[in-house]
Structure 1
Amino acid sequence: MKHLIVGPDNHGVTAYALSLAQATGADVIREDTFTDQPLPDEPIHVTFTDYLFGSTPQEAVDKLLARVGERELSVSFHDIPQVEEGTDRFARRADAYRRLHARAQLTGTNSAHEAQFFDGDAAVIHLPVPVIASAFDPEPGTVGVLGFVYPGKGHEDLVAALPDKRLRFLGSVSAGHEKWAQELVRTAGKVELTGWLDDAAMAREMGRIEVPVCAHRHFSASGSLMTWLGAGRNVLATDSDYTREIDAWLPGRITLVADGAWREAVEAFEPKVMDPPEYGWADVARGWEDAWRSTGLL
């Protein structure tokens, strides 16, 4: 089976695809942007989010299916449509994703919550928990959010709820949201945008945070949450189907926060450090290999 990997190296979905290929020892067809070059005559695995493959969801699926042709197809789905995106956008994306799912011999998602989009007809293989060597040295009054900064990830909710806290957003502003981020900082009390951090700097800055937070309004799967857990931190996270799923899978590490309850949760939070969960790329690889074998793709 060949892995067709599309997108820039620093994109989260592309990075997942590259790591999965490495962990499974797969042969890779690598493209920064999607092309129409012929594929080898064998099963194809694709790590899919629509905007890496086309200018619209329908175009992305049309182009991918035309290129795959009659070959057997395995798809790891990411950024699965959610109704919270808005009625029109959800309908456009949902139709495209379901069409691709119907064509594939195997569909995989990162959570049971996401698999429900396909009526449960998908292999559930959780995101890996990376082991992060982060020195635990929290600075009092600091509240931290990890990863790309963009609307809907809860930054605005924390700014509104915690004007007296030191809010530290560890990561780059997503392209196209620079003005939004500048306005967020201008209207806030104590906010720091660190910008891009390499792995060593990110680990160091994570250790300085007293209250790690994942405040996404609409969870489906979260590399940011897994990174906090990989540093052995306990985390405040928005109460959702996804975070309840992860809390049940990895108990004792997440405190679920109801809508509008950030201040109370932060005030009651007691930071601690523990051994990170033992679930890495080798486990993810085994999950995919088992799924491929069960469908005759491996």
Structure 2
Amino acid sequence: MSGVPTTGRSLVQLAVGPAEHGVTAAALAQWEVLRHDPGTVLVRTPAQPGVDGLATALRGVPAGVVHAHVTDRLFGRSPEEAADVLVEFAAGRDLVVSLHDLPQTSDGARNLPRRSLAYRRVAEAARHVVVASRHEERLLRACGADVPCTVVPLPVPDLAHAPAEDRAAPLRTVAVLGYLYPGKGHEQVLAALDALPPGVGLTAVGRPSEGHEDLVAALQARARAVGRTCEVTGYVPDADLPAVLRSPVLPVAPHEHLSASGSINAWTGAGRRPLVPRSDYVTELEDRTPGALWVYDGPDGLGAALARAWAQPDLTWATPGTVPGPTVADTVDLLRGVLSGVPA
């Protein structure tokens, strides 16, 4: 598809927050494709820039569509503040938002209504809304937002270029990829390790999300209590990630309340077949790429899946020649269709 028709207007790809944040990384990955389109501009700001910070960052940029990847924590210290910032910003710019981390019941009785209202306000203020799955589209409707919405799936990165050990090589540890935060599922994995031989531990590939640094000590204490180990790697640079994911580890993505998952995509992009709990979103992924995932049923099914994977490590690798999708370029083509349709 050709570049976005700008008719004299610019297209701004707004990337807020640190490059290692998954939402920011998604914006920057799309920019690497969009940058070749005429009239496109990348604008970077720190997390929680405020309205004044956004205005300053866009000073001198011609009028046009601003596309922002949004999760509330990147735009405010609270859901209310994030919504205030984006609603005010949208009053002066043609804002298209790609929403992430949509509110759901796992947010809890206090935060679910707060985040739902915030996301509804942002969706209603934007010129158009993009989400990463049909499941997220349903979550947005549950927020009360009756707005036009387009599904643009998260891209699957190409991480299969690093050398891999023999697919049948014995596994060394159970690995969970991504930020550490409550509900990610590390505790469920620790509880299920009794299905594996003594000495097998958990490796958390990543670092704690902001405000949850205490989880490292808590997980390690939990591991000691069940006679296991828990290693937390800290942030793994992009250049080193393929080798980590293609090493003899047992890949698990145990989060039970997913609406989209960069972690699952990273595993599959590295040629792995991660263990994942059944959910609406996982069913959607299975429909898109049959056989790319090892689906188990709830916490009770995790132990049996771990034991079988440990005994047959080749089953944790994708079928040779399997190419999961979509690519970043595929998602940008879908996004172009949204952005070019925003009237002046």
Corresponding residue for 2:317? 272
Corresponding residue for 2:97? 75
Q: Match of 1:124, as an amino acid?
A: V
Could you tell me how far apart the structure 2 residues matched to 1:71 and 1:200 are?
36
- Any conservation in 1 of the 2:180–2:215 contact (CA below 8 Å)? no
Alignment of 1:1-298 (within 5 A): 1-25=11-35, 26-33=40-47, 34-35=49-50, 36=52, 37=55, 39=58, 40-119=62-141, 121-132=148-159, 133-137=161-165, 138-140=169-171, 142-163=173-194, 164=198, 165-188=200-223, 189-260=228-299, 261-269=301-309, 270-273=315-318, 274=320, 275-296=322-343
Q: Match of 2:335, as an amino acid?
A: W
Bigger Cα displacement from structure 2, 43-52 vs 204-213: 204-213
Against the structure 1 CA distance between its residues 271 and 117, is the aligned structure 2 distance closer, same or farther, given a 3 Å change threshold?
closer
Superposed CA RMSD in Å reads 2.0
Please state how far the C-alpha of 1:72 moved relative to its aligned partner: 2.2
Query: When the two structures are superposed, what TM-score results if normalisation uses the length of structure 2?
Result: 0.80
Please state how far the C-alpha of 1:68 moved relative to its aligned partner: 3.0
Please state how far the C-alpha of 1:199 moved relative to its aligned partner: 2.9
SS across alignment from 2:241 = helix
Q: Deviations 1:255-277 (Å, cap 9, x if unpaired)?
A: 21111211111122333343332
Q: Deviations 1:166-218 (Å, cap 9, x if unpaired)?
A: 32221223233232221211331132222222234322222223421100121
Against the structure 1 CA distance between its residues 58 and 150, is the aligned structure 2 distance closer, same or farther, given a 3 Å change threshold?
closer
Bigger Cα displacement from structure 2, 285-294 vs 204-213: 204-213
Please state how far the C-alpha of 1:98 moved relative to its aligned partner: 0.8
- Any conservation in 2 of the 1:134–1:206 contact (CA below 8 Å)? no
Count of residue pairs the alignment pairs up:
297
Could you tell me how far apart the structure 2 residues matched to 1:161 and 1:112 are?
31
Against the structure 1 CA distance between its residues 127 and 197, is the aligned structure 2 distance closer, same or farther, given a 3 Å change threshold?
same
Could you tell me how far apart the structure 2 residues matched to 1:156 and 1:168 are?
12
Please state how far the C-alpha of 1:118 moved relative to its aligned partner: 2.7
- The 4+ residue runs of structure 1 with deviation greater than 4 A are none
- Any conservation in 1 of the 2:135–2:281 contact (CA below 8 Å)? yes
Q: Deviations 1:118-154 (Å, cap 9, x if unpaired)?
A: 3384111111111112333254353211122222111
Please state how far the C-alpha of 1:79 moved relative to its aligned partner: 1.2
Q: Match of 2:127, as an amino acid?
A: Q
Query: When the two structures are superposed, what TM-score results if normalisation uses the length of structure 1?
Result: 0.92
Could you tell me how far apart the structure 2 residues matched to 1:83 and 1:235 are?
25
Q: Deviations 1:238-260 (Å, cap 9, x if unpaired)?
A: 11111110011011111211112
Greater Cα radius of gyration, structure 1 or 2: 2
Could you tell me how far apart the structure 1 residues matched to 2:130 and 2:175 are?
31
Q: Match of 2:164, as an amino acid?
A: F
- Any conservation in 2 of the 1:143–1:209 contact (CA below 8 Å)? no
- Any conservation in 1 of the 2:289–2:325 contact (CA below 8 Å)? no
- What percentage of residue pairs aligned between the two structures are identical? 35
Could you tell me how far apart the structure 1 residues matched to 2:244 and 2:14 are?
35
Q: Deviations 1:4-45 (Å, cap 9, x if unpaired)?
A: 322122221112112222321231222114141264432222
Structure 2 residue runs of 5 or longer lacking an equivalent are 1-10, 310-314
